[in-house]
Amino acid sequence: MKLATYTTASNTTPRVGVVVNDTIVDLASCGGFPSDMTALLASGIDTAAIDGALDAGERVPLGEATLKAPVTNPGKILAIGLNYGDHIAETGSEAPKHQVWFNKQHNCANGPYDGINLPVVSEKLDYEAELCLVIGKRCKHVPRERAHEVIGGYFCGNDVSVRDWQIRVPTFQIGKSFDTHGPMGPWLVTPDEVGDPHDLDIRCLVNGEVRQSSNTKHLIFDCYDAIEHLTQAFTLDVGDVLFMGTPSGVGVAMKPPKWLVEGDLVRVEIDKLGYIENTVVPEPADTVIG
């Protein structure tokens, strides 16, 4: 099942819909279902019950909907670094002995087709195609063999990176957290429809040129490893998003580096999940207070 967060011209309040062919069915209008993705995840996504109620729901053409990030305001956005062997090789890094995680601030969450800001303070803007998962059940101390139980769904992500700000400090956090630098979507795909998340082709194209092409089977630490590891330290809450790392082909590793520039169109596509596509736009330079 594909679940999207969306608005329309006549209703600008974000709500959850089920994507059915070329339409979106407003889930709340089907009766008894939450209109917010985090609330829906917390209630448990009963795909059979949803399927049985769809005929009663209000539909809009997919082309008339504006898709938002599936989870519009995640409590935590966590990303793992150096999680594909070929990416480690291209960056000249050493393979990590332990999982390397960093935060992306929630302000970076962005829609699947919205603009990516070219920062005022840097021209070293880069892309990273990534598989994302969202937590569907609050969890702690989850063994690997049960990790699948807490995953609410999967979607595409782009861990947009401001490289000079990223490498200033070992935490990476600021360089990974600029506003708009976490586009996600186009919708949440439930685990029953995805099947094995560790056998999905993943690609990134810039202006139609393939820059990254791999498969999630090459993850060093997979989705279940990640959940086991993180929940040894802290609780994962419903709606938390994990970015699972990027394969080789990033702009910073090219000789010379190929930074994103204004007008570039960046597309991330993953088998069974669809694609996101974002244009690089100038960041507004206005001072904002209040």
CATH number of the domain enclosing 50: 2.30.30.230
* Cα distances (angstroms) measured from residue 230 to each of 175, 203, 212: 22, 27, 27
Range with the lowest mean pLDDT among 95-104, 147-156, 221-230? 95-104
- What pLDDT is attached to residue 231? 98
Q: Which CATH number goes with the domain that contains 192?
A: 3.90.850.10
28 lies in the same domain as 88: no
Share of the chain above pLDDT 70, in %: 100
Q: State the residue range of the domain holding 17.
A: 2-67
- Per-residue pLDDT band for 91 (boundaries 50, 70, 90) equals confident
What pLDDT digit, counting tens, does each position of 141-174 carry? 999 999 999 999 999 999 999 999 999 999 999 9
Asked which of 47, 67, 87 is the last residue of a domain, the reply is 67
Asked which of 67, 97, 112 is the last residue of a domain, the reply is 67
6 lies in the same domain as 47: yes
Over residues 217-222, the mean pLDDT reads 96
- What pLDDT is attached to residue 92? 85
Over residues 126-134, the mean pLDDT reads 98
- Is the pLDDT reported for residue 86 higher than 90? no
262 in a domain, yes or no?
yes
207 lies in the same domain as 275: yes
92 in a domain, yes or no?
yes
- Per-residue pLDDT band for 94 (boundaries 50, 70, 90) equals confident
pTM > 0.95: yes or no: yes
260 in a domain, yes or no?
yes
Phi and psi dihedrals of 253, rounded to 5?
-85, -10
Mean pLDDT computed over every residue of the chain: 97
61 lies in the same domain as 86: no
- Is the pLDDT reported for residue 93 higher than 90? no
290 in a domain, yes or no?
no
91 lies in the same domain as 190: yes
DSSP 85: H
111 lies in the same domain as 62: no
Asked which of 49, 67, 85 is the last residue of a domain, the reply is 67
d(CA 229, CA 236): 11
- Is the pLDDT reported for residue 32 higher than 90? no
Over residues 242-266, the mean pLDDT reads 97
The total of structural domains in the chain comes to 2
18 lies in the same domain as 126: no
164 lies in the same domain as 246: yes
What pLDDT digit, counting tens, does each position of 172-204 carry? 999 999 999 999 999 999 999 999 999 999 999
125 lies in the same domain as 54: no
- Is the pLDDT reported for residue 44 higher than 90? yes
289 in a domain, yes or no?
no
Q: Note whether 126 and 260 are within 8 A (CB).
A: yes
- What pLDDT is attached to residue 133? 98
40 in a domain, yes or no?
yes
d(CA 160, CA 163): 9
Phi and psi dihedrals of 100, rounded to 5?
-110, 110
14 in a domain, yes or no?
yes
40 lies in the same domain as 108: no
252 in a domain, yes or no?
yes
Over residues 41-69, the mean pLDDT reads 95
DSSP 235: P
Q: Note whether 17 and 37 are within 8 A (CB).
A: no
Residue type (1 letter), 97: K
Over residues 56-65, the mean pLDDT reads 96
159 lies in the same domain as 24: no
Which structure tokens are listed for 133? 């998962």
- What pLDDT is attached to residue 40? 97
108 lies in the same domain as 252: yes
